[in-house]
A and B are shown apart, each in its own frame.
Chain A
Amino acid sequence: MSASPTTSQQKQLQDAADTASHHWVEIKPHKGLQMIDVSKLWQFRELLGILTMRDVKVRYKQTLLGASWAVIQPFTMMVVMSIFFGRFAGLDSKTGGIPYPIFLYAGMLPWIFFTSSVTNSTNSLVANAGMLRKIYFPRLILPLASVGTPLVDYAVAFGVLIGLMAWYNIWPGLGALMLPVLIGMTIVAALGVGILLSAMTVRFRDFRYVVPFMIQVWFFVTPVLYPVTIVPEKYQWILSLNPMGGTISAFRACVLNESIDFYALIPSFLTGLTCMIVGLIYFNQSEKSFADLV
């Protein structure tokens, strides 16, 4: 106990009583559409921070290579895929003069960030079932916090991209200023899908099996391995409805100093945003029953 517990406690109680005196919290059955309580989220920002830190800290505990795993994974995939898809399948002739390895790596980075964010946030509620059952906090914190680790991995792997660019002597232009915006768009898309799936996984565990499968299929309809130009022009608009389609192409264009195709980027972003809105609505509606269902 501290030296003068009574005075400090009394003071705290007094302070608290002052702030609390007007404020009644109502607990009742919820009906109809609920608004997202942004001020509640802000109030719990420290929890968001510490949960994010927890995942980042725990991620590479007791590993020999630590954070280098964030690099090894995309780098190895880049090497293998460059050989098979780039060289043997002949995709390296379709990239418009960009070396295939860097073309591939620049696409893999946002893709890996997207998929691990979706996977993490989908599992976030079920993985933290204990907290859901015993603690009150805005449940949205959990899927939000699960984006932290992929973001750190993203940053680490980005370092390698800079190295690759130096190696191939490619220098980004003004387009690089768009990068933060694109990363923001990726986060919106990933969270949109993740928030929706996390809430659905609480009720239907089916989604734990759906997600890995969904991501595999999704990979092939996203221009990671190939440029959009290999798709017949009249079908390209379909690809840009994919929330990651236009975003990945734009990301690649940014770092490789090409022009961004906004006709592909904007539909992508709008789909991502729609996912986010639908996800938030569904999440908010089912949030109250998580503790009973999880």
Chain B
Amino acid sequence: MRDTVIQVQNLGKRYRLGGQAQLDCTLPETIAKKAGQLRDKLLGRKTDASLEHANDFWALRNINFDLAQGEVLGIIGHNGSGKSTLLKMLSQITNPTEGIARIRGRVASLLEVGTGFHPELSGRENIFLNGTILGMTRKEIKTKINDIIEFSGIEKFLDTPVKRYSSGMTVRLAFAVAAHLEPEIMVIDEVLAVGDAEFQDKCLGKMNKVANSGRTILFISHNMNAVRQLCTRGIWLNQGQMQFDGEVSECIDLYLDAKRKRTGKVTDHVEKIHHEVDLQKVIVNGDDIDNVVLPADKQTLHITLDGINNGETKRMALEARLFDAKHIPLASYSTRHLGLTPDAIENGKFTLQADIALPKIASGQYYLSLMVNDPGKTSWAHLPMAVGVHAEGHTSGCGLAYPYSSGNGFVLLKSATPEAPEATEKIITDTSLQQAA
């Protein structure tokens, strides 16, 4: 049994919301409030407690866990679920309102990449500045500076002020510094969400190394693949409460399941619709909710659309377009390209169907737009970004689990040789699934 390095008991953080709270009030207001409290105290009155509590907001409450040395803990949850607040408290940046946390060992927090970077200073000067801010000693930075420079890949611009850097270069430099921190306990908040995809992969690789070197890590990410790979244990936070604490795959599955249930219906996203057409139900991969998860081995989309035609016969075809997380169109599915004629839909109920085979797409978030068209002529209905598609990516099993992420392109290409590829692909997929499970 390894030593416990972090103990968290009943930790909670309360914020005050609203105008008369302790946040953002002006001096006269505070004086008036304090004077009021003093008067109430002197006169033995009770202050209006209910009024104060109405503005209270518990960002986090009843958090309990122990972490042993070498454990890599992933913390997942929606935005605003209290993840960052937890890490901020453990990093001693904000103070808890109740409970206690005890930490043993040198902690480095990486809540943001490039904190304290100064635009007027050169890259080299900023390495020292940022490194010191993150808790490295000058001596430590001096011994690592060559590694840092090499990792960042911007040797040429080291003596140029950072304000002349592109934002990508700044991020690279900042991450290079952060990646060379070597504390016993590392607290990391969503830092992989920066830089271009290639650099993200590099960072993930570096993180993997750090995770395997026996350090204790607390890691927040919305990138489930990264969490799955790096972490041994997962905590799912929901509205400031601990929803689950345990094995990482189970944690992620529960979280994603809950995420699916919570979302709306596909038909909520109808933006333009012809007055004679009515959409009743859209089912994507068996559910009418606007979010699907695509496992690595099953990258197909089955779409069924039920509607009513209140007018005369129309020609209709279900078309789809796939976008990436930044809403850049990636792929299109259209009856026209397939050389099909759209169905003639008579007055009354109708059903349209599309079964789309996706190529192996990289892990990440995508969006699917749906359209009911008479291609090239009329648009009957448009549902932009109607379905969130979370692809789990294609994982290969050579040594380290390796995510097929968008750094290598969005689509994994097949070999043109007829026999081999499908078979290997199958094997690879199986190993990766075993690893994930």
- The interface of chain A, by Cβ under 8 A from chain B, is 1-2, 5-6, 9-10, 12-13, 16-17, 20-21, 23-30, 46-47, 50-51, 54, 57-58, 61-62, 128, 130-137, 203-204, 206, 288-289, 291-293
Number of A-B residue pairs having CB atoms within 8 Å of each other in the complex: 132
Q: How far is the CA of A137 from the CA of B136 in the complex (A)?
A: 12
Docked-complex contact B103 and A50, CB < 8 angstroms: no
Are A288 and B103 in contact, CB atoms less than 8 angstroms apart?
A: no
Which one, B95, B121, B184, contacts A30 given CB within 8 A? B95
* Cβ contact within 8 Å between A289 and B26: no
A204 to B29, CA, bound (A): 10
Least Cβ–Cβ distance between B374 and chain A, in angstroms: 54
Tier of interface size on chain B: 35 or more
By the criterion CB–CB under 8 Å, are A289 and B95 in contact?
Answer: yes
Known A-B contacts: A13-B214, A25-B102, A130-B115. Give 19 more (CB < 8 A): A9-B213, A12-B182, A16-B105, A17-B184, A20-B106, A20-B184, A23-B104, A28-B101, A47-B132, A50-B128, A54-B121, A57-B125, A58-B118, A130-B116, A135-B133, A288-B94, A289-B95, A292-B15, A292-B23
- Which residues in B have their C-beta under 8 angstroms from that of A25? 92, 102-104, 107
A contact patch SS: helix
Decide: A17 and B92 in contact? CB cutoff 8 A.
no
Partner of B98, one of A9, A12, A29, A292: A29
B90 within 8 A of A: yes
The answer to whether residues A26 and B182 also contact, given A6-B213, A50-B132 and a CB cut-off of 8 A, is no
Q: Which residues of B contact A5 (CB under 8 A)?
A: 209, 213
CB distance from B259 to the nearest CB of A (A): 27
Q: Can you offer 26 A-B residue contacts whose CB atoms are under 8 A?
A: A1-B209, A6-B213, A16-B183, A17-B184, A24-B103, A25-B92, A27-B96, A27-B102, A28-B100, A29-B95, A29-B97, A29-B98, A29-B99, A46-B137, A47-B133, A57-B121, A58-B118, A58-B121, A62-B120, A131-B115, A134-B111, A134-B115, A289-B94, A291-B88, A291-B94, A292-B15
Closest 9 CB pairs of A and B: A288-B95, A27-B101, A20-B105, A28-B100, A136-B92, A134-B111, A134-B112, A204-B27, A50-B132
Looking at the assembled complex, report how far the CB atom of A194 sits from the nearest CB atom of chain B, in whole angstroms. Answer: 19
User: Does B109 have its Cβ within 8 Å of any Cβ on chain A?
Assistant: yes
Which residues in B have their C-beta under 8 angstroms from that of A50? 128-129, 132-133, 138
Contacts of B209 on A, CB cut-off 8 Å? 1, 5
**Nearest neighbor of B8 in chain A, beta-carbon distance:** A27
* B interface majority secondary structure: loop
Residue of B nearest to A130 (CB): B115
Residues of B contacting A1 in the complex (Cβ-Cβ under 8 angstroms): 147, 209
Contact A46 B89 (CB under 8 A): no
* B116-158 interface (Cβ within 8 A of A): 116, 118, 120-121, 125, 128-129, 132-134, 137-138, 144, 147
A6 contacts across to B, CB distance below 8 A = 213
Partner of B91, one of A51, A131, A136: A136
Q: Is B215 in contact with chain A by the CB < 8 A criterion?
A: yes
* Min CB gap A289→B, angstroms: 7
CB-CB < 8 A to A24: which residues of B? 102-104
The residues of B that contact A133 with a CB separation of less than 8 Å are 93, 111
CB within 8 Å for A135 and B116 given contacts A2-B147, A26-B102, A29-B95: yes
For B149-182 the 0/1 string (1 means CB < 8 A from A) is: 0000000000001000000000000000000001
Name the CB-closest residue of A to B146. Answer: A2
Residues from 183 to 202 in B contacting A, C-beta threshold 8 Å = 183-184
Q: With A and B bound together, what is the CA distance between A203 and B28 in angstroms?
A: 12
Q: Are B100 and A26 in contact (CB under 8 A)?
A: yes
> Which A residues lie within 8 Å of B115 (CB)?
130-131, 134-135
Chain A residue numbers with a CB within 8 Å of B125 are 54, 57
Residues in A whose Cβ lies below 8 Å from that of B161: 61
Contact between B95 and A54, CB atoms less than 8 A apart:
no
- The A-contacting residues of B in range 58-108, CB under 8 angstroms, are 69, 88-107
In the complex, what residue of chain B is closest to A16 when comparing beta carbons? B184
What distance in Å separates the Cβ of B3 from its nearest Cβ neighbour in chain A? 8
